[in-house]
Chains A and B, each alone.
Chain A
Amino acid sequence: MAEALAASEKPLPIGSAGKHSGGWWGVMALIATEGSLFGYLLFSYFYLASQAEQHWPPEGLPRLLMPGINTALLLTSSVFVWASERCLRFGQPRLSLAAMAAASLLGAAFVAIQLGEWHSKPYGPSANLYGSLYFTITGFHLLHVVIGLVILALLLIWIALGYFDHRRHAAVTIGGLYWHFVDAVWLFVFSALYLFPYLG
């Protein structure tokens, strides 16, 4: 008890202060559960692929150029989100705004290219088992990117409204963490759907 009392003699931060905030812990838990969701999706993919009797993927090995570029775009957007938070922390709200805008544009470009990829497939989700898996898994991810983009747009507005400075910007930390997750999980999706067939 003496310890607890002693600890209270220093000022405590109030409200949503970075990693002290409940939201930071909450989004970590959200990432754990969303990560498992993608884990189960990829489990289903490998489970079905390992027992498939058709050619896998049916149209032959996937082309890597556009998906590769897209992967780079998404990872770069993560760097900008990280930079945006750093800028806020070092008292540069304008730079932060610019970085967040760049991240949003890169994210939007990813969505556009991914939709193009979908369009170029000669089959749809109901044509065969591979199509079902391909469109469902990338669709799940694309949905997460779109939600992430809405979050980035909100962060952009809030930074522009001057809501945050170096002391209070938990929303950017938390929203940014979610975006990093969406990008990191793409690496797993990309490896499973585009690189794994080359191993077979």
Chain B
Amino acid sequence: MKDAVETPSDRTLARIPEVGSAPIGSDAERHLSELWESAPGWRGWLSTVDHKEIGLRYLVTSFIFLLIGGGEALIMRVQLAGPDRHLLTPEQYNQLFTMHGITMIFLYALPVLSGFSNYLWPLMLGSRDMAFPRLNALSYWLFLFAGLFLYASFPLGEGPNSGWFNYVPLAGLEYNTGPNIDVYALGMVLLGISTTVGAVNFIVTLFRMRAPGMSIDKVPILVWGTLTASVANIFAVPSVSLAFFLLWLDRRNGTHFFDPLNDGKPMLWQHLFWMFGHPWVYVIVLPAMGIVSDALPTFCRRPLVGYAAVALSTMATMLLGFGVWIHHMFATGLPALAISFFGATSLAISIPSAVAVFAWIATIWLGRPVFQTPFLFFAGFVLLFVMGGLSGVMTAAVPLDLQLNDTYFVVAHLHYVLLGINVFPVVGGIYYWFPKFCGRMMNETLGKWSFWVLFIGFNLGFFPMHVAGLLGMPRRIYTYAPNMGWNSVNLVTSIGSFVFAAGILIFLSNIAFSLKRGALAPQNPWDAPTLEWAVPAPPPPYNFAVIPFIASRHPLWEDRLDTAEGRSNLQEGYLLMEGRETLGTTALDAVPDVILKMPDDTYAPFFLALFGSLGFAGLLLDWNRFTFLMTAAAGLSLAAWMWPRQKLVQRLPGVNGVTEAGRG
């Protein structure tokens, strides 16, 4: 060993990666399996860093939050089904609509997309894991704990109650003395950490972890969508974390940022919140649009029309998305110049959106559509996207917005956008990738039923909200008088919401049924073009037995498309099996650059998340010593995590008698 260290050409520091093949059942393949498998039982459950496991946890957890948020919505719809109903007190109603918004927007909409991306990215990119597997685990645990944190006070009747955008001074101490807003403020800072570390992981994964040959113009659109969202998150999330932290300081430590009596400015809250808030809207739709851009072509039996245009429009949308935040504040009395500028950018955003819409329509038009369940969801999405987009253009027009501001029209618009562009692609995406996740097909009959019930229920529920808004019904009122002319639209909306809920139930029973009794899925049941369909269903722990060579955007359709780009090689490639290893490639051209040593399973992320979250609980309860103790424990977890490992070749192998014994 000593000799080995002193030789410059030491094989532990650099080597030529072996090329070969490792078919299922071969010695090499079994060795890989042993290397990458997580321990069975609770140990493996708490310590796993496998992106597939983490991705599924993200999906399941966020879907549970979706059901909770949906339950809250149904209670509100019962209350609003007729005039003068008193099922809920005003305070209960306030907490319900606030928690509904927080749950759907923060605990469901992005995490569910992170679930897809976590699961699918390494499979689509031809890698064995994400760039930072431990960070991935940390991001999940923090998300889970932040979700529990945000819900901690709700069962006690002390939940956040000032709406999801939480305007001051209503959310300030003067009007809101309980713990309600403190829970929201600290919970959002905690959740922001989870979002940020997740985003960093996606960005580095895209630039470093693609299979050789998969240059930047060959990655699936879902990857573009999640990359764009992640870059946006890196720049936007600090704004909202800071806003909530400053609010908490104002409330519990006597500062004056938002306090008008002492020169503070409530408008600062609105700026900081929406500078984050509007990019966030695109964060929770662009990856979902990516799902459609990748999966819709499979059912049209042809590649996506206008790949480059769609990829560029994804980024253009986000870029413009950073310059539209004031359209949430048209009615606040800002100068006309600012308002016209932001109104113009908001209108301009319809251009890149239209590019994507026309690309999908052209793909369907020029293809030979196969009307299976996922296709229905994706085609339905296109329709809802257009409707949500149209009402968006209407609210971007300043004079009309002044009329519609804070009415149900806005509620209708945002639900068309968020359910239309997020929920429909997500449910379609689950139908599409379920065979990959679980190795079984979902039931097609139940699938079609779930689509039509969801689609009809959705439009029945949310379209009349436009009308209610035009009739002047303000949002966030807990009841209304019978003579306002809002009775029938509200009744229809309530009926529609229950039809929609029935659709979700059909979907869930389909999952439950298919998990047990679904037909066994082949490797590529939809005859799809992308790399995730080149691995068994469900995928083995190491993903790819050999790191493939990629020559085109559609590695599995090369024979029939007959591209001039050459042929990908999925059978032979880099073996990389001296420990957990995968290939790092260059950022743009994906030329092999480094053999990356991947970490083993570890408890460090779980403990870091646990101690960190307990530290936030300490802040909430004003237990200073406890907070200090938890911060120290989190610091120790982080130091143990970061300690340079020989196994990962972060430090020199075998010097000075310092051994790796007893360390994972």
Report which A residues bind B (CB closer than 8 A).
1-5, 7-17, 20-22, 25-26, 29-30, 32-34, 36-37, 39-41, 43-44, 47-48, 51-54, 125-126, 128-129, 132-133, 136, 150, 154, 158, 161-165, 167-168, 170-171
Contact of A48 among B265, B591, B658 (CB under 8 A): B265
**Which residues of chain A are near B12, meaning CB under 8 Å?**
14
**Which residues of chain A are near B196, meaning CB under 8 Å?**
33
Tell me how far the C-beta of B549 lies from the nearest C-beta in chain A, rounded to whole angstroms. 5
| A-B CB contact pairs (8 Å), 13 listed | A1-B551, A4-B212, A8-B592, A13-B14, A25-B203, A29-B200, A40-B242, A44-B268, A44-B272, A47-B271, A51-B265, A126-B254, A126-B255
Is the pair A132, B257 in contact by a Cβ cutoff of 8 Å? yes
Is the pair B200, A26 in contact by a Cβ cutoff of 8 Å? yes
Is the pair B265, A14 in contact by a Cβ cutoff of 8 Å? no
Is the pair B16, A22 in contact by a Cβ cutoff of 8 Å? no
Contact (A33, B200) CB under 8 Å given A12-B595, A15-B596, A22-B208: yes
Contact of B648 among A13, A15, A34, A48 (CB under 8 A): A15
Identify which of residues 235-289 in chain B touch chain A, using a CB-to-CB cut-off of 8 Å. Answer: 235-239, 241-242, 246, 249, 253-257, 259, 262-265, 268, 271-272, 275
Is the pair A154, B642 in contact by a Cβ cutoff of 8 Å? yes
Contact of B594 among A1, A13, A39, A51 (CB under 8 A): A13
Tell me how far the C-beta of B604 lies from the nearest C-beta in chain A, rounded to whole angstroms. 15
Tell me how far the C-beta of B168 lies from the nearest C-beta in chain A, rounded to whole angstroms. 13
Complex Cα gap A10–B12 (Å) = 15
Please name the residue on chain B nearest to A174 by beta carbon.
Answer: B642
Is the pair A168, B649 in contact by a Cβ cutoff of 8 Å? yes
Most buried by A among B196, B566, B594: B594
Complex Cα gap A14–B242 (Å) = 39
Is the pair B592, A12 in contact by a Cβ cutoff of 8 Å? yes
Tell me how far the C-beta of B640 lies from the nearest C-beta in chain A, rounded to whole angstroms. 11
Please name the residue on chain B nearest to A170 by beta carbon.
Answer: B650
Is the pair A1, B213 in contact by a Cβ cutoff of 8 Å? yes
Identify which of residues 561-619 in chain B touch chain A, using a CB-to-CB cut-off of 8 Å. Answer: 566-569, 574, 584, 590-597
Complex Cα gap A129–B17 (Å) = 60
B132 adjacent to chain A (CB < 8 Å): yes
Contact with A along B638-664 (1 / 0, CB 8 A): 010010100011111001101000000
**Which residues of chain B are near A132, meaning CB under 8 Å?**
249, 255-257, 264
Contact (A12, B207) CB under 8 Å given A48-B265, A136-B246, A168-B651: no
Contact (A15, B650) CB under 8 Å given A8-B574, A20-B593: yes
**Which residues of chain A are near B550, meaning CB under 8 Å?**
1
Please name the residue on chain A nearest to B204 by beta carbon.
Answer: A25
Contact with A along B179-208 (1 / 0, CB 8 A): 000000000000000001001100110011
Is the pair A4, B591 in contact by a Cβ cutoff of 8 Å? yes
B635 adjacent to chain A (CB < 8 Å): yes
Most buried by A among B239, B648, B650: B650
Tell me how far the C-beta of B460 lies from the nearest C-beta in chain A, rounded to whole angstroms. 42
Please name the residue on chain A nearest to B205 by beta carbon.
Answer: A22
Complex Cα gap A22–B201 (Å) = 10
Complex Cα gap A90–B254 (Å) = 52
Complex Cα gap A20–B203 (Å) = 15
Contact of A14 among B19, B253, B597 (CB under 8 A): B597
**Which residues of chain B are near A25, meaning CB under 8 Å?**
131, 203-204, 207-208
Is the pair A14, B208 in contact by a Cβ cutoff of 8 Å? no
Is the pair A171, B263 in contact by a Cβ cutoff of 8 Å? no
**Which residues of chain B are near A33, meaning CB under 8 Å?**
196, 199-200, 234-235, 237-238
**Which residues of chain A are near B642, meaning CB under 8 Å?**
154, 171
B13 adjacent to chain A (CB < 8 Å): yes
**Which residues of chain A are near B567, meaning CB under 8 Å?**
1
Please name the residue on chain A nearest to B647 by beta carbon.
Answer: A15
**Which residues of chain A are near B256, meaning CB under 8 Å?**
126, 128-129, 132
Complex Cα gap A34–B658 (Å) = 35
Is the pair A44, B658 in contact by a Cβ cutoff of 8 Å? no
B15 adjacent to chain A (CB < 8 Å): yes
Complex Cα gap A125–B256 (Å) = 9
Is the pair A48, B549 in contact by a Cβ cutoff of 8 Å? no
Contact (A14, B16) CB under 8 Å given A132-B256, A150-B635: no
**Which residues of chain A are near B132, meaning CB under 8 Å?**
22, 26
Is the pair A12, B16 in contact by a Cβ cutoff of 8 Å? yes
Is the pair B649, A14 in contact by a Cβ cutoff of 8 Å? yes
Contact of B15 among A14, A125, A161, A168 (CB under 8 A): A14
Closest 4 pairs (CB-CB, A-B): A15-B649, A126-B254, A132-B255, A163-B651
Complex Cα gap A49–B302 (Å) = 57
**Which residues of chain B are near A47, meaning CB under 8 Å?**
265, 268, 271
**Which residues of chain A are near B566, meaning CB under 8 Å?**
1-2
Is the pair A3, B591 in contact by a Cβ cutoff of 8 Å? yes
**Which residues of chain B are near A52, meaning CB under 8 Å?**
263
Is the pair B596, A22 in contact by a Cβ cutoff of 8 Å? yes
Complex Cα gap A37–B591 (Å) = 34
Please name the residue on chain B nearest to A15 by beta carbon.
Answer: B649
**Which residues of chain B are near A20, meaning CB under 8 Å?**
584, 593-594
Is the pair B204, A168 in contact by a Cβ cutoff of 8 Å? no
Complex Cα gap A167–B653 (Å) = 11
Is the pair B591, A7 in contact by a Cβ cutoff of 8 Å? yes
**Which residues of chain A are near B235, meaning CB under 8 Å?**
32-33, 36
Please name the residue on chain A nearest to B200 by beta carbon.
Answer: A29
Complex Cα gap A45–B422 (Å) = 36
Contact (A3, B237) CB under 8 Å given A12-B16, A15-B595, A40-B272: no
